């Protein structure tokens, strides 16, 4: 029994020596005082209990970037369209101004053509009038020759011939016909024929 107890004591002593040899140099073993108050359980970080951690929300940086890019593209397109509208408005204004100018030019052209037509027609109309007056004058002279022939035969009923000639003759020739009428009223056929000759001469000379 003593031998057994001595053997156990030797084993314990050997274990103690072995434990001191394996301890790190320069650091005394911690006692209860150094270890602080005994730990009551695991230390929890954060507010979520173990096993119930909330998943982090997905980042929206990519979505925001895509949205901003889309808005910028739309704004750029709208700006381009507005620029196009402004350009078309300016072009329309220019075309309207050109159209107004064209209308004015067309009107002026029509006025000038009308003036040219009037200018060209005036000589023709004047020539026609002169031709008509010459024909009337010649008809009046012929009527007075007929009246003289009738007077030479003793017929004084020449009022129609005198009216025809007097309507076509110039002023002096018309007065000569009036003198011839007065001579006829006085039954002076020779004087009447003399006045008719004067009327013919004045008419032919345009007097």
Q: What is the pLDDT of residue 64?
A: 64
HSE of 150 in the Cβ direction (CA atoms, 13 Å)?
17
Mean pLDDT of 65-77: 78
The predicted-structure confidence for 72-84, as pLDDT tens digits, reads as follows 888 888 988 988 8
Helix 171-185 crosses helix 159-168 at what angle (to 10 degrees)? 160
So what's the pLDDT on residue 145?
A: 92
117-164 confidence digits (pLDDT tens): 888 888 878 888 888 888 888 988 999 999 998 988 888 888 889 888
Whether this prediction's pTM lies above 0.75 is answered by no
Mean pLDDT of 61-70: 65
**Confidence tier at 33 by pLDDT (50, 70, 90):** very low
Percent of the chain with pLDDT over 90: 14
Packing angle, helices 189-204 and 61-152, rounded to 10: 150
């Amino acid at each position: 029994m003593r031998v057994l107890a001595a053997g156990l004591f030797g084993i314990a002593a050997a274990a103690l020596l072995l434990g001191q040899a394996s301890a790190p140099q320069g650091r005394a073993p911690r006692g209860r005082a150094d270890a602080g108050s005994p730990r009551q359980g695991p230390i929890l970080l954060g507010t979520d209990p173990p096993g119930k951690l909330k998943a982090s929300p997905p980042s929206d940086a990519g979505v925001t970037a895509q949205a901003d890019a889309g808005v910028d593209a739309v704004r750029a397109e709208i700006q381009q369209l507005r620029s196009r509208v402004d350009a078309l408005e300016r072009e329309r204004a220019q075309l309207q101004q050109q159209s107004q100018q064209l209308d004015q030019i067309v009107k002026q052209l029509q006025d000038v053509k009308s003036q040219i037509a009037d200018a060209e027609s005036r000589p023709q109309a004047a020539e026609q009038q002169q031709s008509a007056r010459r024909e009337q004058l010649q008809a009046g002279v012929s009527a007075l020759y007929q009246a003289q022939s009738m007077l030479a035969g003793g017929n004084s009923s020449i009022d129609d011939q005198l009216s025809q000639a007097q309507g076509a003759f110039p002023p002096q020739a018309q007065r000569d016909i009036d003198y011839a009428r007065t001579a006829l009223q006085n039954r002076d056929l020779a004087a009447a024929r003399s006045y008719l000759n004067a009327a013919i001469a004045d008419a032919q000379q345009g007097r």
